[in-house]
Structure 1
Amino acid sequence: MTKYCIPFEQIRHTDLSRVGGKNASLGEMIRKMTPLGIQVPGGFAVTAAAYREYIEASDLLEPLKKSLDSLDTKTLKNLDKVGSSCRKLILSAEIPDSVQEEVVKFYQQLGEKKAVAVRSSATAEDLPTASFAGQHDSFLNIRGSSALLASIRNCYASLFNDRAIKYRLDKGFDHLEVALSVGVQYMVRSDKGSAGVAFTLDPESGFDKVVYLTSAWGLGELVVQGAVNPDEFYLFKPALEKGLPQPLLEKKLGEKEHKMVYTKDRKNPVKKIPTSGREQKEFSLSETEVVQLGKWCLEIEKMYQRPMDIEWAKDGKTGELTIVQARPETVHQQQPLTLKTYHLQPETKPICQGKAVGKAIASGKVVIVNSLADGPKVKMGDIIVADSTNPDWNALLKKAVCIVTNKGGRTSHASIVARELGIHAVVGTGNATQKLQDGQLVTVSCADGDRGSVFEGKLDWEEKEVSLKGLRTTKTAAMLILADPGRAFQLAMYPQQGVGLLRMEFIISTAIRIHPMALVKFDEMVESHEKKAIQAMTMDYADKQQYFVEKLAASVGMVAAAFYPKEVIVRMSDFKSNEYRELIGGKYFEPEEENPMLGFRGASRYSHELYREGFGLECKAMKRVREEMGLDNVKLMVPFCRTVDEGVRVLECMQSFGLERKKNKLEIYMMVEIPSNVILAESFADLFDGFSIGSNDLTQLVLGVDRDSAMVSGLFDENNPAVKEMLTKVIRAIKKKGKKIGLCGQAPSDYPEFAGFLVGLGIDSISFNADALLAGIKNIQKAEKK
């Protein structure tokens, strides 16, 4: 019976006090995941008993206690001195012979020429309430017994890193009760492949129906540290579980400017080098590999029965994927949902932008931090700006009101620390340290979806904390109007009953930006600035049309996944011709009209020869979302359908592109926004499955008021008796036909009596913009009580 070393395959979760959280987790995974075909590198654990023997043999307990007792726990002003003293004590000792002999014996059984990773595993680590992630040190590409023993001593010393001491204080752990085990694990040659981190939920919102995965070339350390901007992938869990052909919701190419690789230098066994131009432009994982990792992550989550933070690696020599370690995700398990809303006003052009971590706004002075030596510059309430952050900075990061970095993704150290501290961050800006200066007053906003922005000066903003007390589900469904997919996971946490209107044109104008017909007719376009721009934007697509289909499907898919299985009603594109002209290449395919509001828009476009093929791309994207991604909660809606015959033509057109009503439970709705829709409501109801009233267009056409004209804006009024008469007629007609009908608009949240009017007519749903949802729900509740 060995005392100091245990092979991973013999370790159980009940051995946590002997081998720490990380090693206990590895043992469980090797035992339970290997039969499922999930690769986990083998090795052994040097037990906590070996660490205690190390401490006792050198009589270090009392000196360590004396040093730790001198720590000023209120101000932490002497933390660096206390930490340094403790580490010197640890490194002054030698590993006892009995421990050395056993470690060397086990290492030789692995194969002494094999490279190993030497990882710290504290006995209080990777718990559901305290991950200790990044607090202790790991050492990579270690070869030879002497290097292994030196790395173990360094792991012991890292138990007293400044950041680890502070973390134990914050979490209430006794410094000397926590022991350290060390994991010795076969290295995966990801220096010639890729590596990264996966979460079995969205790390920002806590939304649990996705796997979020990051990846970069080389060893995974740079991803964990946030020293690179990695590739990002979102996978839809229900699609993974069903084995559907396209569970990948979205992928984003990261810059991946550097990678970490092996060296032959024993003193510096790994180094950071620049990646090639080709590596920066290519994804570091194939879609097949992303899906395989996603399925593995699901199995690991099932094993632990909680959300997980997982590190993985791909061997560049063999092409094999492996799971390196897994720990419980701790941030979202501890935070109850609190609903805060932020609105920046007035918004100006940002200095720099990156990925948003958190949902808040703050102002403060910039402090550029290059190393711990800059720590004294940081005061409470400052905004720390850095290339990337380091676990050693945890104490000074606590002073910051937010963090801005050049590099890193949502799984980086800066992101994790920001979430744990309850502050926001903007990561992966690429240029924050060049654009910002020490002492500069700025405002940092993460209130705009998944994009974070830094603005010059102290801007004004509104901040509201809304109580969800007393908000119950209403009979009249309270739904959301949504345009930006980046806000979907956040808004799905609101007390809503789905999305009553997802505006496709917003996605086209922001995520795609190219006129669909310019992609269909790309080869026929004359050489121009626009054609060159399209070529540059679609260079990774042999089929230019696929660019449109993939981008549109990804954005709609993110929204549909966020609200699944609640219904998401997607309105097909409803640009006016002047708005279509603003898209890249649009001027070659759009007519110039005197009155675009009443011209070539909505349903009339879809079967017309000028746009039919472009509409086909919209349909292909929606078919991909529903059938390949498995998001059958998506319903489609036709806007501005003037006549019944036009409705027939549109449905025939959609069917020709693979979207057939009733097939695969597909429902197709129609917008009610033209008087003819009201007058012939029962005839339209024979064609479509449901309806949504667009109150803005209907009001302007009933009253003959251009809603864009300031001169007559005072006449625009949804409460006008003529408008209310039209609403009454259409709601009653549609309900008589047994079909659903809702309304999208501001009035039911602004005017309680208007909400009461709609509820009294038996309307099925009312959709609100996010900032009006709660007021709208309260108005519906009041109306339903009467």
Structure 2
Amino acid sequence: MTRTDDFVIWFPDLGRGDVGVVGGKNASLGELINNLGKAGVQVPCGFATTADAYREFLSMGGLREVIAEQVARLHHGVDLAEVGWTIRQAMVAADLPAGVARAVTGAYRALGAALGRTDPDVAVRSSATAEDLPEASFAGQQESFLGVHGEQDLLAACKRCYASLFTDRAIHYREDLGFDHLKVALSVGVQQMVRSDLAGAGVMFSIDTETGFPRTVLINASWGLGETVVGGMVDPDEYLVFKPLLDESSRHPILSRTCGRKQCKIIYADGSSGARTRMVDTDDAERATYVLDDEEILTLARWATAIEGHYGVAMDMKWAKDGRTGALFVVQARPETVQARREAALLRSYRLRTGGEPLTSGLAIGDAIATGSVCVLRSAAEIDRFTPGAVLVTEITDPDWEPIMKRAAAIVTDHGGRTSHAAIVSRELGVPAIVGTTNATDTLTDGQQVTVSCAEGDTGTVYAGILDYEERELDLADVPDTHTRVMLNLANPAAAFRWWRLPADGVGLARIEFVVNNHVKIHPMALIHFAQTDETVRRQIAELTRGYDDKPEYFVERLAHGVARIAASRWPDPVIVRMSDFKTNEYAKLVGGEAYEPTEENPMIGWRGASRYYSDGYRDGFALECRAIRRVREDMGLRNVIVMIPFCRTVEEADQVLQTMSEHGLTRGRDGLEVYVMAEIPANIILAELFAERFDGFSIGSNDLTQLTLGVDRDSAALAQLFDERNPAVTRSIQHLIATAHAQHRKVGLCGQRPSDDPDFARILVQAGIDSISVTPDSFLTVKQNVAGAERERAENGDEMP
């Protein structure tokens, strides 16, 4: 480590071992410059003042005694605000020691020479020597100053950084954690200013922040300086990228892109008011446009992956784009602290037992449920009104809110994304939060009893009243091994990452119609014939598809992103995606659906499943489904996706569907594409050998198979006692199918709830030699244990597993 002197060190001379000298933030910047440059990671050049410079400042100005005296007053009951103000005023009023000032101005001139500019604009950032440690995150406790210009401005900014070590919130934070105020020093980082005010900036994590899923990079972006994202002032763009396929240059593994509202941006002020920056509203074009294009998203994701690989832990990073050159930069990198502390062997699951009236919704932070009385606060000046255990409702939060955030049952904000202050702190505290609702402070009222649910995927909902819910703790430390594959039924893409820790063997059933119903919401034929639809429907579609001139592309992209999230959650294990199986009455409920769906007396055995795919009434809609699957498999590279055809009545229909799929670019066998068929009609069992010639596997739909075998309406309460999957007619059908399929070297699975509710049924399946059983995630451990028991019993009887 080469020093300019004892008080200044250039970033290239720093490494991660220098936290005690220049703090975590500055040490990390040096580490990046020295080790990640070959990977293409760009970091703005600059230098850091040392902890010795800070200590010199305290000693020469008599400030050490001031701090000790004021902290003692705090411990004797003097108000925190008075103590903090007194310390800060003393620090700002003191002169920097001559040696420190000389070192800083000399380095600043050298930086200007390197950049080819006299008195360059720089960013001046605080970096505490106790900052970003895994056991105590001090991030955000100190100040940063942007657009600093000239030597005197720089020296003043350095003192303000030093003084920010004693903001009220920083003092409170250290008191809570038991840190000695005089043992924490501060370094000042001085960097080339990235003109992100002319472009955009944001935050990224090398991990899914809500679930800890380690194979994604989450990127948030907004126009202007990045403070709007961190401060939760805007609802930013959100991009999710799948790391394992980033190295394949032909792939674009962007799992999802969400265009945020990006209501405002921070830009540089003209200086006339004395302010360095100002906030302005964004225009309609900016709000409707993504900040980053696909190549920029993938570049940042590759950098995040490289940085994580170098550090060996999940990372939390800030990035900025220079509007003059278009260049991207990483301006901060530190270890992620929340998911790193989660206990890997334990998985908590929450579920609402009863429904309720939804009051508002936004992005779910965490996966818990909480109840309580609403406390609406408009500013941090009102925090004395907060009652411990209440649901905190406010517009945005910043570090001034932290003393009450830890006492809240839940947190709900009008603005902010997954990397906003409210989201980061609530995760760290383990408090469920919903951010970016847009209207919580207007919709919810003081004293109102509510339930805050983050257990339903990406969207969190505030319900009226105190609802009944359950919390389960799943211990993954001792899951038995089984020869029979136990897979998951995953319907909601937004919740797929929540279950990544379960040692499942893949996904046995992912339903396209759930993705369409919850993430697309529009009938595909209405999108295809948008110009001809009813005016009221056109307005609804236009609102849902803002930013999409190509309306069918909206369907393809939304469906592809939903399927991709599920496929990524279990990569590289197989994920069986069932093509749409809405009934006509269900399709009609989609936006624009009524115009394209007939009225049927019995939709359960009507125009559904395979019969729709080649018919004139839906062929073009099925083409969009095929385009989405091709995008997932070919463009993103998630070739673990297996396609499954539901409700295929005849072998002739099977041939028609396979031909139609091939016309739309999905040819069985090409690029390893496997196509399964649902075995849910007696014809599938009776003609299993012929269906096996056309498909690569079977998945038993036990509900429909039981219904059609016994002639019992599965929804009839009057016939409920007759609906029994263990009826010999059903079990013999299953046994026959498995034997016939295995003779043709085809796999057979079953997707349904019965094996978890009925160990005897699991035993029947294992005895028959079924290859896989697929169940809901919360039933996984029970089924795994039931299957293990059945396999032991079979082994004790001398039967070998196939």
Q: Same fold (TM over 0.5)?
A: yes
The alignment's C-alpha RMSD in Å is 1.9
Counterpart contact for 2:397–2:422, Cα < 8 Å: yes
Q: Kindly tell me: are residues 22 and 602 of structure 1, through their superposed partners in 2, closer, same or farther at Cα, counting changes over 3 Å?
A: same
d(CA) in 1 for partners of 2:392, 2:94: 38
Q: CA deviation at 1:353?
A: 0.3
After TM superposition, the structure 1 stretch with the greater mean CA deviation from structure 2, 753-762 or 96-105, is 96-105
Residue 410 of structure 1 corresponds to 418
- TM (norm. structure 1) is 0.96
Which range moved further: 152-161 or 526-535? 526-535
Alpha-carbon distance between aligned partners in 2 of 1:740 and 1:692, rounded to the nearest angstrom: 8
Q: 2-side partners of 1:768 and 1:81: how far apart?
A: 60
Moved more, 265-274 or 506-515: 265-274
> SS of 2:183's equivalent?
coil
Residue 391 of structure 1 aligns with which residue? 399
Once the two structures are TM-superposed, the CA of residue 70 in structure 1 deviates from its matched residue by 5.0
Q: Distance in 1 between matches of 2:215 and 2:78?
A: 43
SS of the aligned residue for 2:133 comes to coil
Percent pairwise identity:
50
Give the counterpart letter for 1:420 in structure 2: E
Following the alignment from structure 2 to structure 1, what is the Cα–Cα distance between the partners of residues 719 and 482? 36
Look up the match of 2:383.
375
Aligned pair 1:257/2:280, yes or no?
no
Q: Show the counterpart of 1:727.
A: 734
Contact 1:229–1:257 (8 Å) recurs in 2 = yes
Question: More displaced, 33-42 or 579-588?
Answer: 33-42
Determine if contact 1:363/1:442 at 8 Å carries over to the other structure: yes
Q: 2:519 aligns with which of 493, 511, 521?
A: 511
Q: Deviations over 1:221-262 (max 9, x none)?
A: 110111111000001112212223322110111111111111
> Is the contact between residue 385 and residue 432 of structure 1 (CA under 8 Å) also seen in structure 2?
yes
Report if the CA contact (8 A) 1:257-1:280 is conserved. yes
1:203-222 paired onto structure 2 within 5 Å: 203-222=209-228
Output the CA distance in 2 between the equivalents of 1:80 and 1:241.
Answer: 52
Paired residue type of 1:39: Q
In 1, the alpha carbon distance for the partners of 2:529 and 2:269 equals: 51
1:725 Cα deviation after fit: 1.7
- One-letter code aligned to 1:507: V
1:749 correspondence with 2:752 = no
The aligned residue for residue 522 of structure 1 is 530
Displacement of 1:767: 1.0
Match of 1:653 in 2: 660
1:562 equivalenced with 2:569 (yes/no) = yes
| Counterpart in the other structure of 1:97 | 98
Match of 1:163 among 141, 144, 169: 169
Among 13, 31, 34, which residue is 2:34 paired with? Answer: 31
Asked whether the 8 Å contact 1:482–1:501 carries over to 2, the reply is yes
> Which residue is 1:176 aligned to?
182
Question: Structure 1 residue 433 and structure 2 residue 441: aligned?
Answer: yes
Distance 1:765 1:82 in 2: 66
Q: How big is each residue's C-alpha offset from its partner over 1:432-484, in whole Å with a ceiling of 9 and x where there is no partner?
A: 11111222222111111111111222222122223334322322111111111
**Alpha-carbon distance in structure 2 between the residues aligned to 1:626 and 1:3:** 57
Instruction: Identify the residue that residue 231 of structure 2 maps to in structure 1.
Output: 225
Q: Could you list the runs of 5+ residues in structure 1 that have no partner in the other structure?
A: none
Select the residue among 150, 157, 160 that pairs with 1:154.
160
Give the match for residue 431 of structure 2. Answer: 423
Go from structure 1 to structure 2 and tell me whether the alpha carbon gap of 1:255 and 1:455 turns closer, same or farther (over 3 Å shift): same
Q: Compare 499-508 and 16-25 and name the one that shifted more.
A: 16-25
1:704 alignment counterpart: 711
The answer to whether structure 1 residue 632 and structure 2 residue 639 are counterparts is yes
Partner amino acid, structure 2, of 1:739: R
Contact 1:131/1:327 (CA < 8 Å) preserved in 2? no
Find the partner of 1:763 among 755, 763, 770. 770
Shift of 1:177: 1.5
CA distance in 2, matches of 1:72, 1:423: 29
The answer to whether the 8 Å contact 1:140/1:187 transfers is: yes
CA contact (8 A) 1:161 1:392 kept: no
CA deviation after TM superposition for structure 1 residue 553, in Å: 0.5
Alignment of 1:224-373 (within 5 A): 224-265=230-271, 267-337=274-344, 338-373=346-381
Equivalents in 1 of 2:441, 2:632: separation in Å? 40
* Comparing 308-317 and 340-349, the one that deviates more: 340-349
Task: Tell me if the contact between 1:131 and 1:328 (Cα under 8 Å) persists in the aligned partners.
Answer: no
Q: Which amino acid aligns with 1:574?
A: D
- Alignment match, 2:690: 683
CA contact (8 A) 2:476 2:502 kept: no
8 Å contact kept, 1:640–1:673:
yes
Q: Displacement of 1:276 after TM fit?
A: 1.2
- d(CA) in 1 for partners of 2:218 and 2:203? 8
Give 3-state SS (helix, strand or coil) of 2:160's partner.
helix
1:458 pairs with 2:480: no
Which residue pairs with 2:119 in the alignment?
Answer: 113
Task: Tell me the distance in 2 between the aligned counterparts of 1:341 and 1:130.
Answer: 27
CA shift for structure 1 position 69 = 4.3
How many Å separate the matches in 2 of 1:170 and 1:757?
58
Asked if structure 1 preserves the Cα contact closer than 8 Å seen for 2:366 and 2:454, the reply is yes
Per the TM alignment, residue 533 of structure 1 is displaced from its structure 2 partner at its CA by: 2.6
Q: Match of 1:343, SS?
A: strand
Matched, 1:202 2:208: yes
**Is the contact between residue 55 and residue 61 of structure 1 (CA under 8 Å) also seen in structure 2?**
yes
How many angstroms does 1:159 deviate by? 1.3
Match of 1:674, as an amino acid? Answer: I
Secondary structure (helix, strand or coil) at the match of 1:505 reads helix
**Matches of 2:256 and 2:303, distance apart in 1:** 18
Q: CA deviation at 1:521?
A: 3.1
Report the Cα distance in structure 2 between the residues aligned to 1:497 and 1:611, rounded to whole angstroms: 34
Partner of 1:772: 779
CA contact (8 A) 1:42 1:185 kept: yes
Do the aligned residues in 2 keep the contact of 1:64 with 1:89 (CA within 8 Å)? no
2:796 corresponding residue in structure 1: none
- Cα displacement (A) at 1:315: 1.5
Give the C-alpha shift of residue 745 in structure 1: 1.0
Any conservation in 2 of the 1:38–1:322 contact (CA below 8 Å)? yes
SS in 1 for 2:36: helix
Matches of 2:549 and 2:461, distance apart in 1:
34
Partner of 2:11: 8
* Aligned partner (choices 109, 124, 139) of residue 130 of structure 2: 124
- Counterpart CA distance in 1 for 2:680 and 2:74 is 70
What amino acid does structure 2 have at the position aligned with 1:676? A
State how far apart, in whole Å, the 1-side matches of 2:408 and 2:65 are: 35
Query: Following the alignment from structure 1 to structure 2, what is the Cα–Cα distance between the partners of residues 345 and 88?
Result: 55
Partner of 1:292, secondary structure, is helix
Equivalent residue letter for 1:759: V
SS of residue in 2 equivalent to 1:686: helix
- Mapped to 2, the partners of 1:428 and 1:649 lie a distance apart of 47
Q: Is the 8 A contact 1:5 1:45 kept in 2?
A: yes
Q: Paired residue for 1:545, among 548, 552, 561?
A: 552
Distance 1:78 1:693, change over 3 A: farther
Distance 1:13 1:313, change over 3 A: same
Counterpart for residue 143 of structure 1:
149
Question: C-alpha displacement at 1:313, in angstroms?
Answer: 0.8
In the aligned structure 1, how far is the partner of 2:654 from the partner of 2:384? 69
On the 8 A contact 1:131/1:329 being kept in 2, the answer is no
Query: Does structure 2 conserve the Cα–Cα contact (< 8 Å) formed by 1:331 and 1:420?
Result: yes
Q: 1:607 is matched with which residue?
A: 614
Amino acid paired to 1:238: P
Letter in 2 for 1:314: K
Q: Distance in 2 between matches of 1:286 and 1:499?
A: 31
| 618-627 or 535-544, which deviates more | 535-544
Counterpart in the other structure of 2:509: 501
- Is the Cα–Cα contact under 8 Å of residues 72 and 79 in structure 1 kept in the other structure? no
Structure 2: unaligned runs, 5 residues or longer = 113-117, 794-802
Q: Is the 8 A contact 2:356 2:465 kept in 1?
A: no
CA deviation vs aligned residue, 1:15-70 (integer Å, no higher than 9, x gap)? 32221111111112223333443321111111111101001112222332343345
